[in-house]
Amino acid sequence: MTREQKDALISDLADRLGKSEVVYLTDINSLNSEDSSKLRRLCFQRDVKLQVVKNTLLAKAMERVEGKEYGDLVGVLKGNTGLMTAEVGSVPAKLIKEFRKKSSKPIIKGVYIEEAIFIGDENLDMLASLKTKDELVGDIISLL
């Protein structure tokens, strides 16, 4: 890969990160091709974008994004990294929980949701239970 290609990829990643308020960094190492295809299909159905990225390129892209601090997420960039982005914070976590009924992967390395950072797979249940903005508004209206 040439320097120009790397720079273009970093710019694309930075643009994608800049537009997304929900970023999941996952470990999808050791998934066979069949499971990988199933995961990608499930992501497509749920409107979650999945991309396997090089850690150094992703770290440089995170540095380029203006207005967002990814903090400790750069530290979890080891091994194979799958970058998942979505519109709703709980959708990728629910997708991972569902997929892990049949497989041990993907494992959450770190998550960035609207300026909040979560490190580690132990946050999966909490992330899956997050409510959307519309659900929270509905809860408030029902309380009134």
DSSP, residue by residue, 93-111: HHHHHHHTTT-S--EEEEE
What is the amino acid identity at position 111?
V
> Model pTM?
0.87
> Residue 103's pLDDT is what?
84
> What local confidence, expressed as pLDDT, does residue 84 receive?
93
Instruction: Please tell me the predicted confidence (pLDDT) of residue 23.
Output: 92
Structure token digits, residue 26: 């996952």
From CA 115, how far away is CA 71, in angstroms rounded?
10
Please give the chain's pLDDT, 144 residues, in tens.
788 888 999 999 999 999 998 999 999 888 888 888 999 999 999 999 999 999 999 999 999 888 888 888 888 888 888 999 998 888 999 999 999 888 888 899 999 988 888 998 898 888 888 877 777 788 888 887
Cα angle 84, 87, 90; round to 5? 75
Residue-wise pLDDT for 94-125, tens only, equals 999 999 888 888 899 999 988 888 998 898 88
Q: What share of the chain is helix, strand, coil (3-state, %, to 5)?
A: 50, 20, 30
Rounded Cα–Cα distance for residues 121 and 128 (Å): 12
C-alpha–C-alpha distance, residues 120 and 51, integer Å: 19
